[in-house]
Structure 1
Amino acid sequence: MLFTAHQIQTIREQALGMDKHRQVTPEALATIYDHRLFHLFVPDELEGRMTSLPEAARIFQESARIDGNLGWLVTIGAGGGFFASLMSREVSRRVFAHREAVIAGSGMPTGTARQVDGGFIVNGSWKYCSGSTYATTFTANAVIEPGFTVQDATGELTADQNESLIRSFILNPGQIEILEDWNAFGLRATASHTISAVNAFVPFEMTFSLTETQGYENETIYQYPFLPFAQVSFAGVAAGIAEHFLEAAESLATQRGGSSHVVGKLEERKAALEQSVSDFYESVEGSWEELLRNGELSNATEAEVTARSITAAQTALSCGQQVFPLLGLSAAMEDAEINRCWRDLQTACSHALLRSF
């Protein structure tokens, strides 16, 4: 166990307040900082605690089992460390090398950038930026207007008047306005708000390309393909929330006398989740070993990791879908632990990367 019994108890006791007030508590954030959980994918020399993907997925699962908001915020915050290899070493040190460093942002290119002397003027808005209220850095993707000339580490990039380029921009909190519009019925304390920037000047050195590695090439995690990396991370969260849900459901069923039908369904879902999570980790661990051995993943391995991640998430979701209707009106109360778990599970599994088509 990564967390102490006291830390688990404190966060669980504060979970109702976080849900009602839609914000994470200082104590929960302090626990994240103390364990350096936002730095799981940050190089050690940047005050990180570089972690393998299988181990990190288990940390995400453990965090989410304590509380869904905690698990989601740890996972999203840690994921920002993936960008350390895309920034120059000087910039990555500036962004990551302190205790409370964490990135919030969006990968959607819903902004625009106009080139000016020394950098760009960025405008736009970006939805679903988890951790927005305490982020120390923001990243956002924007489309550079046609007709630009950009000097990068390898030389000069140019484009004609008909071509556009998507680039990532590093902004500080003073350049960002937060629109507090995260009104979802679950994961309420994740502050997954819309952010916007108006005429923000970003020097060229504070921009990066998602396809151009600038440092830390030897760190294995940065060689892992980003799509399955994200799916593995989110599947760990879904599994942890489902475990908490089943734990709370068992407690509630016991209080109500525990009918054989409810108990049977609980045991069935527990077994299904355990098997699916076991298959999931077998795939993740196998992919990590393949990456260490070959320096890359085969297409078949990528596809398997994606499939196992989605299956694990969908199995987690089915725990809520099949058990929640059996628990009576007491489970329908918003301040009930089981209700929060159910809402968090539904919300987490709504992410596009966890849906099966």
Structure 2
Amino acid sequence: MLTIDVPTRDELVRRAAQSVPALRSKAAWSEENRRLHEESIAVLAEAGVFRLRTPRRHGGYECDTRTLVEVAAELARADGSTAWTASVYWIPTWMACLFPDEVQDEVFATPDVRVCGTLSPTATAAPVDGGVVVNGRWGFVSGALHSHWQEIVAVRIEPGAEPVPIVALVPMSDLQIVDDWHTAGLRGTGSVTTVAQDVFVPAARVLPLGAVLSGQPASERSAASAIYRAPLLPVASASSVGTAIGLARAAREAFLERLPDRRITYTDYESQRVAPLTHLQVAEATMKIDEAEFHAHRLAATVDAKAAAGEPWTIEERARARADMGAACRLAKEAVDVLNNASGGSSIYSHVPIQRIERDVQALNLHALMHPDTNAELYGRVLCGLEPNTHYI
């Protein structure tokens, strides 16, 4: 068991901010090559990003979700793909901490271990002596190319029994990778498809999906820590939302950097900076960023406060968590849209960052769990007294 000094939130955010220049310098390479650069992985490791949700007994920091929001926002100022991949790692890493202690000892034996994952039950699991045999495939597995383990979801099928969804941990060496990540946005995440063909998974590395969704650790040591006693979806929502905030901040930063030297073509404005329209656009975008930050911070505050108090979650609170995430994503995208539309024809060149930011924030808003409309509908449905029409709440 390791004993380390745990950095404060301010220190971790400072480290993330210091990594921005190095990560930004590799953003174009990552987009072109559809994966993070090895140097970016090293920079993230040096900043402690991969340890944020790792148990302290394994050299991690057990950070609260407000720290995740702030760190991801700093990383996204450099590159949306880098921030998104880091935030995706945080979620399956948290899920790994719900497994029995001997499984955690195996997973976290690797320093700065990276666990990718998915919540899609697109595989089957057949029971055998000592575990299950899994066959299937999973798409959109962000960070798979740099991962050591993958958290998978499959449906356990047994004659004479009801199908049961399960979560399992599988070494990446047991899986095949299909390089199919050819996309318009978040290209650098390397969110490829992974395939399992007759992969045996020991019983210790299998949990019921329901237990994971409810935040019920199969580990006594994890159950003693507040951050592992929360439902999965609010945790995942708070883990993900910082990337949207950071992309909006990055768009404003990029816009203001180009502003003094930009004219408005076919007008007598020598600088876009003095045009009243520009003032309205910058103010509108900034207010939307402020609103997005409100929802992100309220979401994180709710997750952290309820975990610390050990309080159960109501269905309405769970639905609001997803609604806060969706609202933050929508508002961040709206802010980027305003600034992108104000950036002129020269902004479509590939070396101008705002065009990549626009595509990345659009991709983020299309994610099944991030989609603003899906999350708002779910919240409204619950507020109207109906049962949620999803288990992912």
Q: 1:254 to 1:81 in 2, by over 3 A?
A: same
For 2:82, the equivalent position in structure 1 comes to: 70
Deviation per residue, 1:104-155 (Å, 9 max, x gap): 12211111122222222211110011111111011211112222xxxxxxxx
The answer to whether the aligner puts 1:251 opposite 2:250 as a matched pair is no
The answer to whether the aligner puts 1:312 opposite 2:311 as a matched pair is no
For 1:153, the equivalent position in structure 2 comes to: none
The answer to whether the aligner puts 1:292 opposite 2:308 as a matched pair is yes
* Counterpart residue identity of residue 131, structure 1: G
Secondary structure of 1:109's counterpart equals coil
CA distance in 2, matches of 1:168, 1:307: 25
Deviation per residue, 1:254-302 (Å, 9 max, x gap): 3212133133202221122113313531453244224323533344433
For the Cα contact (< 8 Å) 1:262–1:323, is it kept in 2? Answer: no
For 2:104, the equivalent position in structure 1 comes to: 92
Secondary structure of 2:223's counterpart equals coil
Select between 103-112 and 204-213 the one with higher mean Cα deviation: 204-213
Q: 1:6 to 1:217 in 2, by over 3 A?
A: closer
Q: 1:6 to 1:168 in 2, by over 3 A?
A: closer
CA distance in 1, matches of 2:154, 2:178: 19
CA distance in 2, matches of 1:95, 1:276: 35
For 2:381, the equivalent position in structure 1 comes to: none
Q: 1:169 to 1:6 in 2, by over 3 A?
A: closer
The answer to whether the aligner puts 1:265 opposite 2:281 as a matched pair is yes
CA distance in 1, matches of 2:169, 2:247: 32
For 1:151, the equivalent position in structure 2 comes to: none
* Paired positions, count: 344
Q: How much has 1:192 moved relative to structure 2?
A: 0.5
CA distance in 1, matches of 2:200, 2:16: 44
Secondary structure of 1:54's counterpart equals helix
Q: How much has 1:22 moved relative to structure 2?
A: 1.5
Secondary structure of 1:113's counterpart equals strand
For 1:277, the equivalent position in structure 2 comes to: 293
For 1:109, the equivalent position in structure 2 comes to: 121
Q: Aligned-pair RMSD on alpha carbons?
A: 2.0
Deviation per residue, 1:201-260 (Å, 9 max, x gap): 222222222305211112212222221222222221101111101111222333212133
CA distance in 1, matches of 2:325, 2:172: 33
CA distance in 1, matches of 2:310, 2:16: 38
Percent sequence identity over aligned pairs: 24
CA distance in 1, matches of 2:217, 2:92: 15
The answer to whether the aligner puts 1:178 opposite 2:210 as a matched pair is no
Q: Structure 2 unaligned segments of length 5 or more: list them.
A: 1-12, 263-270, 374-393
CA distance in 2, matches of 1:277, 1:5: 18
For 1:154, the equivalent position in structure 2 comes to: none
CA distance in 2, matches of 1:5, 1:75: 16
* Counterpart residue identity of residue 217, structure 2: T
CA distance in 1, matches of 2:70, 2:18: 20
* Counterpart residue identity of residue 13, structure 1: S
Select between 295-304 and 180-189 the one with higher mean Cα deviation: 295-304
For 1:196, the equivalent position in structure 2 comes to: 195
The answer to whether the aligner puts 1:44 opposite 2:75 as a matched pair is no
Secondary structure of 2:119's counterpart equals strand
For the Cα contact (< 8 Å) 2:168–2:207, is it kept in 1? Answer: yes
Secondary structure of 1:146's counterpart equals coil
CA distance in 2, matches of 1:328, 1:71: 27
* Counterpart residue identity of residue 237, structure 2: Q
Deviation per residue, 1:149-175 (Å, 9 max, x gap): xxxxxxxxxxxx152111122221221
For the Cα contact (< 8 Å) 2:170–2:201, is it kept in 1? Answer: yes
Secondary structure of 1:121's counterpart equals strand
* Counterpart residue identity of residue 199, structure 1: D
For 1:228, the equivalent position in structure 2 comes to: 234
For 2:246, the equivalent position in structure 1 comes to: 240
For the Cα contact (< 8 Å) 1:223–1:295, is it kept in 2? Answer: no
CA distance in 1, matches of 2:166, 2:177: 21
**Structure with the bigger percentage of strand:** 1
For 1:217, the equivalent position in structure 2 comes to: 223
Secondary structure of 2:122's counterpart equals strand
* Counterpart residue identity of residue 334, structure 1: S
The answer to whether the aligner puts 1:19 opposite 2:31 as a matched pair is yes
Deviation per residue, 1:297-329 (Å, 9 max, x gap): 344433433332221211101012223223222
For the Cα contact (< 8 Å) 2:169–2:206, is it kept in 1? Answer: yes
Q: Relative contact order: is structure 1 or structure 2 higher (C-alpha 8 Å, sep ≥ 6)? A: 1
Normalising by the residue count of structure 2, what TM-score does the alignment of the two structures yield?
0.82
Q: 1:235 to 1:91 in 2, by over 3 A?
A: same
* Counterpart residue identity of residue 339, structure 2: V
Q: Structure 1 unaligned segments of length 5 or more: list them.
A: 148-160
For the Cα contact (< 8 Å) 1:128–1:193, is it kept in 2? Answer: yes
The answer to whether the aligner puts 1:28 opposite 2:28 as a matched pair is no
For the Cα contact (< 8 Å) 2:230–2:303, is it kept in 1? Answer: no
Q: How much has 1:4 moved relative to structure 2?
A: 6.7
For the Cα contact (< 8 Å) 1:33–1:99, is it kept in 2? Answer: no
Secondary structure of 1:42's counterpart equals coil
Q: 1:105 to 1:285 in 2, by over 3 A?
A: closer
Q: 1:80 to 1:316 in 2, by over 3 A?
A: same
